[in-house]
Structure 1
Amino acid sequence: MLLEKQARTDLESRDGRRLLPLELSLCNTRKDLIWDLDDNSTIEDLVVQISEKDLTTLKLLADKTEEIGDVAYRMAESGRVVDLAALLVVAADKINESILPVRDAVLDCKEKTTIYEAVIREALALGGPTPSLRVAKRVTVLSESERAEKRKLLLYEIELLQLFGAVGLGCCTDRKLPSPLIRAAQAGDETIIELLLKTNIDLNDVDADGHSALHWCLKAYKQSCPQQMKSLSHTRTSTGTGTGTRARTHALWFC
């Protein structure tokens, strides 16, 4: 009734939390929902549980809230997998199409990107045993176990966003920046590389210098991470003769 009377959805609560109506509705949605990432529950299990709930109010608010992209990103950044899943169930297209100015953890600058790419980059930033100096400024308050826990949640969120088709909607708007797959290859992050290769991601994408993800894996091979190169080489050669020829060309170039 209030929404039909053009009630504003951008007003924040005055209880100190400064929450939008959509966020308050999320708090109610997750009541009585049992999902634990440590009990072998899958993302599919979570989505099924959420879909069985009455999400009418959440959907109405999601449809009317212009800031839904910002809300979804806050949920993702905080590792609130259940809340992000609920938002995707009711408004996946709206969230996946959102382009937000997000601070890049490694480059230490703001760029316009999708929530999907932002989550991947955050997971990459936490992936190594020792974060870069810029990333370290933000994660020094986290212990090693806390970093590992946060990355685990981010990996679940990558799967969740993939399940709702985020990968098929393009990447960040700044094409001078490398794609998620190239970034994962540069970081030698086998876990994220494997996650990305399960989708229909473009294997022929290159960075500003013309180097592909396979280029970077070949380069990293000399630094003892052959598994990533094996995964990418197999994927490229299995997609067709032309792609396989290009993969062999990359290998010869490095030789």
Structure 2
Amino acid sequence: WMVQSLSEEGGGTTDKMGKQDNDVSRAVVEDDTALLLAAVDSIKKAALGRLRNGSDAARILDQEMSNRLLHLACRHDAAECARLLLDGEYGITPASVDARDQLTRTPLHVAAEAHSKRCIQLLLSVSRNARTDVRLLDGTHLVALEVALMSRRVQVDWSLDNSVEDLLAYLQQKDLNAVRLLAEKTREVGEVAYRYAMEGRVAALAMLLLVAEERISAMVSVVIDGVRTKRSIYNSVVDEVLSIGEASAREGNEMRRKALLCEIQLLNQFGATSWRDRKVDRKSLPPLLRAAKAGDMNLTKMLLMGDVHVNETDPEGNTALHWCLSSSSSTQEPRIVWLLQKNGARVFQGNKLGLTPVHSAAAKGNYKALQSLLLHAQDCVDIPSKTKETPLFLAVKNGSLSCVRLLLRYGANPKAQNLRKQRPIDVATSQDMRFLLNSANVVPMNHGSMEKNHAMKKERHKELPGDDFNDYDNGDYYESYVVPKASVGHRDFRVKSKGNSAPKEGPKLSRLLTTYFIYSIMIIGRSMTTLAKSLLGVSRFR
């Protein structure tokens, strides 16, 4: 095929041209430079014959032949033949290192597609200096590195339903030296990794992490809306997951969101939590705090699988637990609260205003979350903020009778005073709230009986529930199972294993009857007191 044009011009039979063609092809495939030189010499003799007859096509065909032979050599990783063609020795016109073929591919593109390691190394050497930024003109605009990442030679039988560990195991069985050579010389490697990450191409991102982690682990330079800026791939993927959201994922973006979550897990495998450059990202919340703020359960769970600091704070001192409880956008707040606690979130950690997660839960009237927090850190029930307001103050201001009742049952002091010398009853806005705070309507917990109850169930209930959190949907659960007060030095309990929660103790009706009985005694007592005073007054009058 390379000498067909010569035969059409005359000066040789078809059989002779066919033999030359076969010799050239065999020489390149076998990387036999001696055979290649012999075949080229035969072709040049035919070309010189044409030149003597007055044709000037010989030199043009010679250049084109060198370029075509170079592409063929790169396809078969014939490094010695490629070197001979590039050097142009023995009367061969040197081939152009960046010459394009009919498909607009350069020799580097061809070598990348075939994963021809020796030819890639030759083309990228200092003396050859092939351009890695040249893009295909076929509409894909791929550079050589991208061609290598899409090659069939590195395709693996993996899907999003498989684990990330399986993907890495499959890829480590592949020869990725060609990708490594190209990644080391491609200036746009960070931009390529960023684009593939945003597109949810997990396998391609995994290959780049395996061969060039140090090139893409820090901030990468990318062009967004025509402006070049520095971005963290890790933070960008988190932002993309949050922008899709769990609701939007169910409307058509489920697979892309699933791929992005896999990428977060993949990045965690390479220590991505240490990639965030605080100088660049100082104005944005850490990923875990953003996920907790959005109430994204799956993203929070995926981030916690990495080496993330669960008690990391924003500039105001708020942790993920603070953001989860203060945000009103989450429909799964209690589940995220339990998940964060299970991973070591500190319930008693206050922000710069001294507000703990217990304050946040009370301020939002989040009854279930408040139950969970007090279960693990009962000492926080009366912890004051910088303004000396306890969680009871915030629950009263919120008008949450259920939270106020719960705090009182855990021993909250209704007579506590803030900096303005106000008591919780002084900030109450309803008569029901004042009655609740001003009377003995809430029976304090009998910690002695609770300790006995805890001992009886020690073997059946030792920890928070697992991923399903089914039993925690029952609002009465914590009223029947409460651990004793933790000592000051052991306020934070970290769950170490999964278990099933114990069933609730005692019928709810029994508790209600007991409460009504106490109410009746109180009312009768007040009535008797009033009657006695009246009789005493009449007696004195007489």
TM-score range relative to shorter protein = 0.7 to 0.9
Q: For the Cα contact (< 8 Å) 2:234–2:267, is it kept in 1?
A: yes
Change over 3 Å in CA distance of 1:54–1:62 after alignment to 2: same
1:175 aligned residue: 282
- Contact 2:234/2:275 (8 A) holds in 1: no
Distance 1:95 1:35, change over 3 A: same
Offset at 1:130?
4.6
Report the CA distance between 1:112 and its aligned residue: 3.8
Q: Aligned pair 1:185/2:321, yes or no?
A: no
Aligned residue identity for 2:287? P
Residue 166 (1) aligns with residue 272 (2): yes
Distance apart, 1:171 and its partner CA: 4.4
Mapped partners of 1:102, 1:16: distance in 2: 19
Task: Compare 25-34 and 189-198 and name the one that shifted more.
Answer: 25-34
**Alignment partner, residue 240 of structure 1:** none
Contact 2:145–2:182 under 8 Å retained in 1: yes
Contact 2:289/2:319 (CA < 8 Å) preserved in 1? yes
| Alignment partner, residue 6 of structure 1 | 129
Tell me the amino acid that sits aligned with residue 124 of structure 1: L
Matched, 1:194 2:301: yes
- Match for residue 78 of structure 1? 199
CA contact (8 A) 1:117 1:171 kept: no
Give how far 1:221 is off: 7.4
Contact 1:159 1:195 in 2 (8 A): yes
Matched residues in 1 for 2:146 and 2:260: separation? 20
Counterparts of residues 1-255 of structure 1 (less than 5 Å): 1-4=122-125, 5-28=128-151, 31-38=154-161, 41-101=162-222, 112-130=230-248, 144-145=251-252, 147-171=253-277, 173-220=280-327, 224=331, 225-237=333-345, 243=346, 245-246=348-349, 250-254=356-360, 255=362
Partner amino acid, structure 2, of 1:123: V
**2:295 alignment partner AA:** G
For 1:79 and 1:56, how far apart are their aligned partners in 2? 24
Aligned-partner Cα distance in 1 for 2:329–2:281: 30
Aligned partner of 1:137 in structure 2 is none
Distance 1:19 1:53, change over 3 A: same
> Partners of 1:94 and 1:71 in 2: how far apart?
11
One-letter identity of the residue aligned with 2:335? Q
Return the TM-score normalized by structure 2. 0.40
After superposition, the C-alpha distances for 1:153-212 in whole angstroms (9 at most, x for unaligned) are 101111111112212222461311111111101110011111111222233433354432
- The count of residues paired between Structure 1 and Structure 2 equals 232
Unaligned runs of 5+ in 1: 132-142, 238-242
- More displaced 10-residue stretch of structure 1: 86-95 or 244-253: 244-253
Query: Is the 8 Å Cα contact of residues 43 and 160 (structure 1) preserved in structure 2?
Result: yes
Q: Which residue of 2 aligns with 1:135?
A: none
- The amino acid across from 1:20 in the alignment is V
Q: Distance in 1 between matches of 2:229 and 2:239?
A: 12
2:454 matched to which residue of 1?
none
1:37-59 CA-to-partner distances (Å, cap 9, x unmatched) read 24xx2111111111111111110
Indicate the structure (1 or 2) with the bigger Cα radius of gyration: 2
- Report how far residue 28 of structure 1 moved: 1.3
CA gap of 1:223–1:158, structure 2 versus 1, over 3 A, is closer
TM-aligned CA distance change 1:110 to 1:176, over 3 Å: farther
Q: In percent, how many aligned pairs have the same letter? A: 38
Over aligned residues, Cα RMSD in angstroms? 2.8
SS in 2 for 1:153: helix
Distance 1:229-1:100 versus aligned 2 partners, 3 A rule: farther
Q: 1:223 to 1:186 in 2, by over 3 A?
A: closer
Structure 1 Cα separation of the partners of residues 155 and 321 of structure 2: 46
Aligned-partner residue type, residue 91 of structure 1: A
Gaps of 5+ in 2: 1-121, 363-542
Q: What TM-score do you get using the length of structure 1 for normalisation?
A: 0.80
Whole-angstrom CA distance in 2 between matches of 1:21 and 1:111? 24
Measure, in 1, the Cα distance between the counterparts of 2:151 and 2:222.
29
Partner of 2:435: none
